[in-house]
């Protein structure tokens, strides 16, 4: 009696054929899993490396302030200056606590911050518009650039008597003086960037039917964005420089007033505190624009 095994052989061959694709698919699946894990590990390593660089940068940046504090305390302890001339750091911290207790500290900071922001916004906006026109229109550049550059050399205090005469002793002359300080860095960087702009960008924009403000806002301003942000950072620093001169104009509040009033009353601890606060406020606002500058650079990369 013979057995027919052809069906069994056929079934076995079919099973082997079906198993073959599965055996081939398994290495591919393992490869995809390994690739995903490798990408996740690389991303995690990059994030950890970025965090490490950030903390390293913060640590390096803290070296100079700590060294200055140590030198300050060392000069006081060695008797290089008397406590009236150079109070120790703890005395300055005590002055800060004193002003907080009186309820004046945050008001002084808020008033100066408000004046700086208003002057910075107005000065930067006018500087952006004027720089755009001067940078793009050659006849206007020939007409205005020499005069603007000459006015740029005028010291901040030289504007004070004229502004008081024209605008009185209210908030107007203070904000205008800060706006003058913010205007020139933005005007200079924007006009220079647009003057040296690749003319092919202008031709491309015009080929798409863009003219005037549309061409400036759509094509040229984004191309000059790094220079614009750098000019804004300079303008903000200039605004904090000008706020001290601005608060000489019949002020009763603000960090500039605190600085000059402490000089008149012989409170060197408050005078040094005012300088430290001006530096910290300037650094804090500059850090905000620094974030914007990094994002602009990343978007262009």
pLDDT tens per residue across span 76-129: 889 888 888 899 999 999 999 999 999 889 999 999 999 999 999 999 999 999
* pLDDT value, residue 13: 46
Rounded to whole angstroms, the Cα distance separating 287 from 54 reads 14
For the stretch 72-84, pLDDT in tens is 989 888 988 888 8
Q: Which residues contact residue 28 at a Cβ distance below 8 angstroms, ignoring those fewer than 6 apart?
A: none
Nearest to 246 by CA among 184, 169, 150: 169
* pLDDT value, residue 32: 55
User: What is the dihedral sign for C-alpha 118, 245, 108, 164?
Assistant: negative
DSSP state at residue 197: S
The fold adopted by the segment(s) 89-300 is: MetI-like fold (1.10.3720)
- Within the chain, where are the H helices? 6-77, 89-102, 105-136, 138-152, 156-167, 171-195, 199-207, 212-215, 221-223, 225-246, 255-265, 268-300
Is residue 122 exposed (0-12), middle (13-18) or buried (19+ Cβ within 10 Å)? middle
Q: Is the pTM of this model over 0.85?
A: no
Nearest to 163 by CA among 77, 247, 100: 247
The tokens for 47 are: 């994030």
- The helix/strand/coil state of 18 is helix
Rounded to whole angstroms, the Cα distance separating 142 from 135 reads 10
**What Rg do the C-alpha atoms of the chain give, in angstroms?**
32
The tokens for 62 are: 């803290």
For the chain, which ranges sit under pLDDT 50? Answer: 1-22, 30, 33, 39, 41-43, 46
Q: Which residues contact residue 241 at a Cβ distance below 8 angstroms, ignoring those fewer than 6 apart?
A: 156, 181
Residue 171: count of CB within 10 angstroms of its CB: 16
Q: What is the DSSP string of 20-68?
A: HHHHHHHHHHHHHHHHHHHHHHHHHHHHHHHHHHHHHHHHHHHHHHHHH
Rounded to whole angstroms, the Cα distance separating 274 from 98 reads 13
143 CB-side CA count, 13 A:
9
CB-CB contact of 201 with 223 (8 Å): yes
User: How far is Cα of residue 214 from the mean position of the Cα atoms in its chain?
Assistant: 27
* pLDDT value, residue 26: 56
């Amino acid at each position: 009696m013979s057995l027919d095994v052809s069906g069994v052989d056929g079934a076995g061959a079919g099973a082997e054929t079906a198993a073959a694709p599965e055996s081939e698919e398994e290495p591919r699946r393992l490869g995809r899993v390994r690739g995903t894990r490798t990408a996740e590990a690389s991303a995690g390593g990059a994030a950890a490396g970025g965090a490490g660089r950030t903390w390293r940068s913060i640590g390096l940046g803290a070296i100079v302030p700590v060294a200055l504090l140590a030198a300050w305390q060392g000069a006081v302890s060695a008797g290089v200056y008397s406590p009236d001339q150079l109070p120790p750091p703890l005395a300055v911290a005590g002055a800060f606590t004193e002003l907080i207790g009186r309820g004046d500290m945050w008001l002084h900071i808020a008033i100066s911050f408000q004046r700086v922001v208003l002057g910075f916004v107005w000065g930067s906006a006018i500087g952006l518009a004027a720089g755009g026109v001067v940078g793009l229109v050659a006849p206007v550049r020939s007409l205005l650039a020499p005069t603007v550059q000459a006015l740029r050399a005028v010291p901040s205090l030289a504007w004070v008597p004229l502004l008081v005469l024209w605008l009185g002793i209210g908030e107007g002359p203070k904000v205008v003086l800060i706006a003058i300080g913010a205007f020139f860095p933005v005007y200079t960087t924007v006009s220079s960037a647009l003057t040296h702009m690749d003319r092919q960008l202008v031709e491309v924009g015009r080929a798409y039917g863009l003219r005037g403000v549309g061409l400036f806002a759509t094509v040229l301003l984004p191309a000059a964005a790094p220079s614009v942000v750098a000019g804004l950072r300079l303008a903000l620093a200039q605004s904090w420089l000008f706020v001290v001169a601005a608060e000489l104009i019949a002020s009763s509040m603000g960090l500039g007033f605190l600085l000059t009033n402490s000089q008149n009353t012989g409170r060197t601890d408050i005078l040094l505190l005012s300088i430290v606060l001006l530096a910290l406020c300037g650094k804090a606002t500059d850090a905000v624009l620094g974030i914007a500058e990094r994002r602009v650079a990343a978007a262009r990369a």
